[in-house]
Structure 1
Amino acid sequence: MIDTLLVLNTGSSSLKFQVFREENLEVLLRGKITGIGTDPRLRADLPGGKKTETALPDDTDHDAALRAVVDLMSAHSENWHTLAVVHRVVHGGQEFTEPVVVTPDVMRRLEALIPLAPLHQPHNLAGIAASAKLAGDAQDIACFDTAFHAGHDDLISSFALPSDLRGKGIRRYGFHGLSYEWISGVLAEKHPDLHRGRVVVGHLGNGASLCAMKGGVSIDTTMSMTALDGLPMGTRSGSIDPGAVIYMLHDLGLGAENIQETLYEQSGLKGLSGMTSDVEQLLASNDENAAFALDYFALKAAQFAAVMAVSMGGIDGIIFTGGIGEHAAPVRQAILDRLRFLGDFKVLVIPTNEERVMATHAKRILRKP
């Protein structure tokens, strides 16, 4: 019998998964289901180096997607026993600053946070609900993207609002914490001088943020109460004047749902270019709007990196990770060119591994006496 951990990252139309051997965190199986609700397909790297790709029924929902993963595990396992299903949960609020075993009470408290992450939290919780029905006696463990930033000073985490509103949870939380936690660990192991110093880490992908990290600890970050703030992203606007939202609501007559759809799904690189959020396509395009979108992204990333440097009192290095950060060299260079005035600093590209961070947390929880 091989004890395993199933790590899930559930999105609105996708389900990423990895199976780890609990003993040494060897990856036994990994894959992704895309197109949930439209054209669902399962792609996976199987034991022995084989790959598979399968079309799933059109009516596949999150329950059915997880069932397909469990069936895949059963078909290719070597007598695996799932000890825990580990879930990425975007928002833990002020309460959840460490990974937790999910209980009915924890689920109720996580559901109360849905308004803070309306396009992420419901799908994360749907994955937990599905695994509770399908994964037998396995424990559900939640790991939070906000937790790495939980120790921020009040000067960093506060908005300039009346105390009664601040007391209702309107504050800066920060996200991509699992990715930043991985980068902190890699720096501690392979680049101890940088780990002890002041680094700006850029998790740049379809979702994008920066983290000011000093001594391996998060000091500041660009996302705030929701995953909409800060840098422009693939389809999200990033920071925008709150007055513009009021104007859209009151003067342009756009409803709240329409504004939410615009800011989350139709803005960012997609909105600026009028084409796509895919950076590879934008880099290959000769359209001036594509170039404008990339220039805007690089400018804002550099501006916010300077803000992060102020929060730390200087900068010793910049780390790039995420899809854009790891693979779009022209975008990296455009950001760095705008930061040369800060003087000399080291630059590294480090692939992130959120799933392994989650598996590590789960192993620690399971082995607690």
Structure 2
Amino acid sequence: MSTAHAAHPAHHHANPVILVVNAGSSSIKISIYVVPDAAHDNIDVQPTLAAHGQIEGIGVAPHLVARMADGRVVAEEHFPVEQVADHNAAFRLIRLTLSVGLRDSPPVAIGHRVVHGGIGYTDAVRIDDDVIATLEALVPLAPLHQPHNLTAIRAIRGAAPDLLQVACFDTAFHAGHDPLAQLMALPYEYYERGVRRYGFHGLSYAYIARQLRQVAPDIASGRVVVAHLGNGASLCAMRDGRSVDSTMGLTALDGMPMGTRCGSIDPGAVLYLAAHGMGADEIQAMLYGKSGLLGISGISSDMRALLASDAPRAQLAIDFYAYRAAQEIGKLAVTLGGLDALVFTAGVGANSPEVRARICAHLADIFGVRLDPAANQENRQRISSASARDASRIPVLVLPTDEEGMIALSTARILRESGGLPGGGQASR
């Protein structure tokens, strides 16, 4: 494989470089961020994206692409399966692709997206042996993601044991929930052992809370429901930019239906499946990988494919998705004691006017939600109607999310606190 034209920051500079690693179930994304001088003393200055590489279809149809921040493709290749059979191989390959450009400015820290932080982690942390052991124990609660997060962490430790690694958790943003939002009505001893509702997509929600403060401060301080609708989907109730409740629970299976995940179902259905001969692994594979939009439609987990299809079950899957999303919005509005704004984000939320329209149609009578069809069609920042004749009672916004940007921000903060940035260290906090 030729890496002669691999990704590298646009010009050579002394500014520190941070790598952000987001390891999914069949993909690994790596982003290169440069920490600007202003960030050395200011916790709120966002590191700048320089380049981004990802490899998809690991073990199936491996495809690597690397782009500069302006979108220019600097490396792209398809590989035979045996060359990229697992996450370790994929990780080595991306590191090789990016290393040419990083020769003059090797990373000073690496930030990882880690899906489950359990009870213990309420913020990003520096990774050490104890952290790894804790994350290992949480694997059963995030079986699709946590093992891959750990694989990336271990691969880097093996190659560069002294490099600062930071874990940024999808659960941390929800850590302050009231017990009422965490409890499940099981015997209380299980709650004490950590069997409780955590919530996920926290990096996305933290980014949206930050964005709202910048683009709509009047809304940011109110009662907001944010809908993170991607292949995984959840909703979060925020009051004054803080998470109050979320639709996901102990695992990322709960809440609304997703691409291949079932969302909330009667636990009796799981007992029924077990009683009729399905083993735990088989049930897990079905609930995580064969349900949701794919399960109902029988066609695809991809919302775009379903919207393009005229098959009745494809339409049924979309209708059910919109119906359940609207129900969850109603539930979270009860938690908040009202609703001041609705925000859509993530792949489907930020890019599908049709899905947003279907969800909002359910909210028209009870919340007075009215969309501006043209604004919605163009994915504008504010898509609610402002017309004097038929104004929406609450604003509806579309904000793209940036989980990697949040990881870079947290990693820069921990680097600063550890004295790893010029002018940093405890004194600058």
TM-score, normalising length: structure 1: 0.97
2:362 corresponding residue in structure 1:
338
Question: Does residue 20 of structure 1 match 2:20?
Answer: no
2:408 to 356, 359, 362: 359
Superposed CA deviations along residues 225-244 of structure 1, whole A, max 9, x for unmatched, are 00000000000000000011
Partners in 1 of 2:292 and 2:79 — Cα distance?
Answer: 31
* Secondary structure, aligned partner of 2:108: strand
Count of matched residue positions in the alignment of Structure 1 and Structure 2 = 368
| Structure 2 runs not aligned, ≥5 long | 1-13, 40-46, 369-392, 418-425
> CA shift at 1:13, angstroms?
1.5
Bigger Cα Rg:
2
1:11 corresponding residue in structure 2:
24
Partners in 1 of 2:51 and 2:308 — Cα distance?
Answer: 34
| Structure 1 runs not aligned, ≥5 long | none
Partners in 2 of 1:363 and 1:261 — Cα distance?
Answer: 37
Structure 1 stretches (4+) deviating beyond 6 angstroms? none
2:81 corresponding residue in structure 1:
58
> CA shift at 1:100, angstroms?
0.7
Q: Is 1:85–1:135's contact at 8 Å kept on the other side of the alignment?
A: no
> CA shift at 1:57, angstroms?
4.8
* Secondary structure, aligned partner of 1:81: coil
> CA shift at 1:136, angstroms?
5.8
Partners in 2 of 1:365 and 1:171 — Cα distance?
Answer: 28
Counterpart residue type for residue 134 of structure 1: A
Partners in 1 of 2:152 and 2:35 — Cα distance?
Answer: 21
> CA shift at 1:215, angstroms?
0.3
Partners in 1 of 2:357 and 2:198 — Cα distance?
Answer: 29
Partners in 1 of 2:345 and 2:28 — Cα distance?
Answer: 21
Identical residues among aligned pairs (%): 49
* Change in CA separation of 1:291 and 1:48 when aligned onto 2, cut-off 3 Å: closer
Q: Is 2:199–2:250's contact at 8 Å kept on the other side of the alignment?
A: yes
> CA shift at 1:135, angstroms?
4.1
> CA shift at 1:48, angstroms?
7.4
> CA shift at 1:162, angstroms?
1.2
TM-score, normalising length: structure 2: 0.84
Question: Does residue 272 of structure 1 match 2:285?
Answer: no
Bigger shift: residues 162-171 or 40-49: 40-49
1:311 corresponding residue in structure 2:
335
Superposed CA deviations along residues 313-346 of structure 1, whole A, max 9, x for unmatched, are 0001100001110111111011001011123110
Partners in 1 of 2:395 and 2:70 — Cα distance?
Answer: 39
The 5-angstrom pairing of residues 1-369 of structure 1 reads: 1-23=14-36, 25-46=47-68, 50-51=72-73, 52-59=75-82, 60=84, 61-77=86-102, 79-135=104-160, 137-250=162-275, 252-340=276-364, 341-343=366-368, 344-368=393-417, 369=426
Bigger shift: residues 63-72 or 155-164: 63-72
Partners in 2 of 1:166 and 1:135 — Cα distance?
Answer: 38
* Secondary structure, aligned partner of 1:282: helix
> CA shift at 1:46, angstroms?
3.2
